[in-house]
A and B are shown apart, each in its own frame.
Chain A
Amino acid sequence: MSSATPRINFKYLSQFEGKTVRIAGKVGEKQGNNVILHTTDNGQVIVDRSQNLKKSYETNNVEVLGVWKNNQLSELTFFNLSDNFDFDTYNQMIDLSMEHKEIFM
């Protein structure tokens, strides 16, 4: 029944090849249809926005929901996050959610 789209960061990407995930971070450089996302744990992820180009990111920090495949995150949708978003605590929350997967996925 799992329609989970887990929240992950850069260090967990390898475990989710081909899966739909949520990655949060700071919006970086735009490169055509792609955007660099600086993840909450200081990684860099290429986000392919071609399926969701009509909506623009409205904030400096976003959470992107997409399919992680071939070293790219194909965006399905995104969510605006506030500027005061605490990356460190968020990373720790992700770690804890991985330790207690029973209530997350």
Chain B
Amino acid sequence: MTNNSNENVIVRTITPLTIRQIQLSTESEGNTFKIDNEFVMNVSLVGTVIKVLDGNTYTNYTIDDGTGQLKIREFKRHKQNNMEEEEQQQQPQEEGGEGENKSKAKEIENPFENKYVRIIGNLKEYKNQKSFSVTKITEITDSNQITTHFLEAILVHLQRIKGTLKKEQTSSQNSQIKEEKKEIQKETNNNNNNSNNIITQQNTNQILGLALKDKALRLISSNQTSSGISLQELAKELKSTEEEIREIVDFFLDQGQIYITIDDEHFRSTD
């Protein structure tokens, strides 16, 4: 997540938006835009690439997400002198920069043809115009991310606009809005679950694995006898198999946190 320094406002969140929302936003302070009454800097979009213009220092993409079209700019990164290049690229629209690039920019083959992309970028105002610079543009391989993005955009939109109308709301309006938000949240979660079930399971397994390692190290450390604690004892205490314990002690042996004593099945902590 990038944190843009700006004269007045620093916004650390990434807001999922539709292009229509960007088109409709006019309010700004400093050069930061406001959408649904909240400052917005880092933005995520999901859409398709219609056109690609290749210039010297940047590539211009025209994006369509079904709600509208937007021109966005991705600065090219060079391997050497990265910092200098980026500083220069911060001022692309100043004298000459823009003009030079425009005249040299040519349309090239679309690497994202017939594909959906996710874009993370910064929305800024420059000379009374909206300017969107791309931090990251990636192809979407799980199309459920399209659905999720729009659900999230609706959710954030509703949270930001309905949240401020506290005084005028009646209790029935309140419960209706809560229902709506719950539905969206549920669908977003369902959608995320569908795509992320495998990842969640892996994460859970990792956490369980860590807990076991932790316990094993503690048991070894707490043993003060000169011969240390045996593999069998560890397996018994931790209610685990010897193979699993073997893996764990091998790990700690490699790390130098334990050492073997009378034989390779007895261990003591190096602490």
Contacts and interface: CB of A to CB of B under 8 A. Distances in A.
Interface of A: 1-7, 22, 55, 58, 61, 77-82, 84-86, 89-90, 92-93, 96-97, 100, 103-105
A81 B143 contact: yes
B147 A4 contact: no
Interface of B: 18, 20-21, 23, 48, 64, 66-69, 114-116, 141-144, 146-147, 150-151, 153-154, 157-158, 183-184, 187, 190-191, 194-195
16 contacts: A1-B68, A4-B67, A5-B64, A61-B143, A81-B143, A84-B142, A84-B143, A84-B144, A84-B195, A85-B144, A89-B187, A89-B194, A93-B151, A103-B21, A103-B67, A103-B154
Nearest to B155: A96
Contacts of A92: 183, 187
A21 to B, nearest CB: 9
Contacts of A100: 154, 157-158
A4 B18 CA distance: 11
A105 B20 contact: yes
Contacts of A3: 64, 68-69
Given A82-B141, A92-B187, A104-B20, A55 B157 contact: no
Contacts of B194: 84, 86, 89
A103 B18 contact: yes
Given A3-B69, A79-B114, 19 more contacts: A2-B20, A4-B20, A5-B64, A7-B150, A55-B114, A80-B115, A81-B143, A84-B144, A85-B143, A92-B183, A93-B147, A96-B151, A97-B150, A100-B158, A103-B20, A103-B67, A103-B154, A104-B66, A105-B67
